[in-house]
Chain A
């Protein structure tokens, strides 16, 4: 059974037919998952962009008389300890959660890629110095580093973005540096150098487009980690503070009521999982598309 994949390999003449079929099957399975990821991601981004389309209620509006009621037609995901609508808070929470994730991954991607390009292109002392600096951040588990940085800086949205950015810059540095080392030896780069193109132009117009694929794949993967990191920080009380909703802070607020009002904790968690799953699936799809080595 174990070796079926290999022992059933047909003679050379029929091989293309079978492997083409297998590839098609693989593609279909993949695409369905990628499609699922794309649709989920769109819904979640829509939640963040147009929250008032999805819920007419104010996310801060308290109604203590209606506190901690389970799902009803009026509050279909229940209400929290202040009687606020959980669905509304999840929808508005997506603004902070996704906003922080996109902002921090965006900045980390920009800075990390620029530093990686510089290190790879110039080599020597620049590469050594930047490499050593990045090693410092790699010498610590990333979630814990985010906790330490956010814990030191104090809880605020800006500090959470800063903490997540610092943690993920080295990942983009590494992903950009490696391919730059290869691309700078290629003939087109040498040609541009010979023609006297300025270095920023060589890096941005010639090298960058050729190293972009792994960077984009890394960005989609990092987005997942960033969503999870923001949620963890807010859950620990180091991120978004009540009464502002973020997926992690709603979970933090629902923590004492886990046994009596589980819906406050169940639904934001499912939302985080679906959001991360969506970007994971998209990342897998992008990797297959652009990074043939891993497929």
Chain B
């Protein structure tokens, strides 16, 4: 198991370095860097000033030198300074990450709390009307554009409750209640598609388990339906559901960029978007690195939890 974890971590390291290299090269292939953008803003072209600025940002160096300098900094825990926001990239990302991770964790909790019971219910009522309705609803949940759902929730609440969510960030450390009120809509918005996936997965897993021989054996022993269902069926059906929920949490990191934009939350997604628009290379590279590492760690932890829960899985 430990050998497996080490191998996976090494593999993760290589893959993440590959990703940062791809993004690094892509950022520099495309015409229009931060300097030309700054000079365009000033409305006058001054080649000497441009050259000086490029030297200041290190853009006059060959690509491989720029990349290795950046990578060397990363290994020493230094992601460089943001070109537009000022201050260390690491600080900006750490601040943004607390918002993004809170959003992802709460949305996963929402998806689980809504998704698992609904999925079980759909399985129990298989092929009846409730099942059909739930399946259609879960498909609809998968089909809604995240940002649109967010806007519609804001619209409905403002029409019917005359309440608009506060647009200023409240940190959970300062005011937990205020923070949770602020996060409610973003969490529902982000969690809906995941809840839909969890419903579908739970339904299929429960139906699959109910067909197994050991369920029939348990019934033949004369156990009550409730015991058979809760102790034998549900326990096993939930193993693949947990895996899917874990993987969904990773994908939620993708949806956050849109949700943070709709609800103006100061997370990593908006930071990344801002960095892209303003050609703030260190900020983009740092944000990509962070998201990739967290994404892959979530996947690794999900795999390990799966192995612990399901004794049939053993990693060689």
Task: Name A's B-contacting residues (CB within 8 A).
Answer: 1-7, 22, 25-26, 29, 33, 132-133, 135-137, 139-145, 147-149, 151-154, 224, 228, 231-232, 235-236, 238, 248, 251, 255, 258-259, 262, 265-266, 268-269, 272-274, 276-277, 280-281, 284
State the CA gap A33–B149 with chains docked (Å). Answer: 23
Q: Is the CB of B258 within 8 A of A139?
A: no
Q: With A135-B15, A139-B15, A147-B272 as given contacts, are A3 and B143 in contact (CB-CB < 8 Å)?
A: no
Closest approach, in angstroms, between the C-beta of B196 and any C-beta of chain A? 10
Could you write out 22 A-B pairs with CB less than 8 Å apart? A1-B225, A3-B210, A5-B207, A25-B127, A29-B127, A140-B288, A143-B251, A144-B291, A148-B272, A148-B288, A224-B143, A228-B145, A232-B146, A236-B257, A238-B276, A248-B145, A251-B151, A265-B148, A276-B144, A277-B139, A280-B139, A280-B142
Q: Which 4 A-B pairs have the closest CB atoms?
A: A141-B254, A151-B276, A269-B148, A2-B229
Q: A265 touching B151 by the CB < 8 A rule?
A: yes
Residues on A with beta carbons closer than 8 Å to the beta carbon of B225: 1-3, 7
Indicate with 1 or 0, residue by residue over B117-154, a CB within 8 angstroms of chain A CB atoms.
Answer: 00000001011000010011001101111111101101
Q: Which of B15, B143, B257, B277 has the most CB of A within 10 A?
A: B143
Known contacts: A26-B127, A147-B257. The answer to whether A141 contacts B216 by CB under 8 A is: no
Say yes or no: A258 contacts B155, CB within 8 Å: yes
Shortest Cβ gap from B293 to chain A (Å)? 9
Query: Do residues B148 and A144 form an inter-chain contact, with CB atoms below 8 A?
Result: no
| Contact call B216/A6, Cβ cutoff below 8 A | yes
A-B contact sample (19 more), CB < 8 A, given A141-B250, A148-B284? A2-B229, A3-B225, A3-B233, A33-B136, A135-B15, A141-B254, A143-B258, A232-B146, A236-B257, A251-B145, A258-B154, A259-B155, A269-B145, A272-B145, A272-B148, A276-B143, A277-B139, A277-B140, A284-B139
How many positions in chain B have a CB within 8 Å of any CB in the partner chain? Answer: 65
Taking a contact as CB atoms closer than 8 A, the residue among A6, A26, A235, A269 that contacts B219 in the complex is A6
Contact B127 A3 (CB under 8 A): no
CB proximity to A under 8 Å, residues B219-245: 219, 225-226, 228-229, 233
Known contacts A5-B210, A136-B22, A153-B30: A141-B295 contact under CB 8 Å:
yes
Nearest opposing residue in chain A for B21, CB measure:
A136
Residues on the A chain within 8 Å of B272, using CB:
144, 147-148, 151
Roughly how many angstroms separate A2 CA and B121 CA in the complex, as a whole number?
9
Q: How far is the CA of A175 from the CA of B272 in the complex (A)?
A: 31
Chain A residues whose CB sits within 8 angstroms of the CB of B148 once the complex forms: 231, 235, 251, 265, 268-269, 272-273
Contact A273 B145 (CB under 8 A): yes
B266 interfacial contact with A, CB 8 Å: no
Contacts A144-B253, A144-B272: A4 and B124 contacting too (C-beta < 8 A)? Answer: yes
Tell me the chain B residues, 249-271 only, with Cβ under 8 Å from chain A. Answer: 250-255, 257-258, 261, 269
Question: Measured between C-beta atoms, what is the minimum distance from B128 to chain A in Å?
Answer: 9
Q: Provide the residues of chain B in CB contact with A153, threshold 8 Å.
A: 26, 30
Bound together, the chains give a CA A178 to CA B147 distance in angstroms of 35
B268 CB → nearest A CB, Å: 9
Q: What is the CB-to-nearest-CB distance from B225 to chain A, in angstroms, rounded to a whole number?
A: 4
Interface of B is mostly: helix
Q: Which of B12, B18, B211 has the most CB of A within 10 A?
A: B18
Given contacts A269-B152, A272-B145, A272-B148, contact A142 B251 (CB under 8 A): yes
In the bound assembly, the distance between CA atoms of A289 and B207 in angstroms comes to 19
The residue in chain A whose Cβ has the minimal distance to the Cβ of B258 is A232
B19 at interface by CB-CB < 8 Å: yes
CB distance from B233 to the nearest CB of A (A): 8
Task: Flag if B19 contacts A139 (CB, 8 Å).
Answer: yes
Q: Are B147 and A262 in contact (CB under 8 A)?
A: no
Q: Is the CB of B15 within 8 A of A136?
A: yes
- Are A141 and B151 in contact (CB-based, < 8 A)? no
Given contacts A154-B32, A231-B145, contact A2 B155 (CB under 8 A): no
A6, A144, A228, A273 interface centre (most CB from chain B within 10 Å): A144
A259 touches B158 (CB 8 A): yes
- Using CB atoms, name the residue of chain A closest to B251: A141
